[in-house]
Amino acid sequence: MNDFNGKRVVVTGAAGVVGRAVADAFHLANADVTGIDIVEAESPYRSIVADLIDPEDARRAAGEAGHIDVLANIAGGFTMGETVAETSDETWDFMFNLNARTVLNMARAVVPGMRDRGAGRIVNIGARAGLRGAGAMGAYCASKSVVLRLTESLADELKASGINVNCILPSIVDTPRNREDMPKADFSKWVRPDQIASVVMFLASDAASAIHGASIPVEGLS
Which residues are known catalytic residues? 140
What is the C-alpha to C-alpha distance for residues 210 and 217, in angstroms, rounded to an integer?
18
Beta strands in 19-111 (DSSP E): 32-37, 46-49, 70-73
Strand partners, 122: 71, 165
What is the C-alpha to C-alpha distance for residues 152 and 147, in angstroms, rounded to an integer?
9
Alpha-carbon Rg for the chain, nearest whole angstrom, is 16
Strand partners, 167: 124, 215
What is the C-alpha to C-alpha distance for residues 77 and 165, in angstroms, rounded to an integer?
21
What is the C-alpha to C-alpha distance for residues 159 and 157, in angstroms, rounded to an integer?
6
What is the C-alpha to C-alpha distance for residues 121 and 12, in angstroms, rounded to an integer?
14
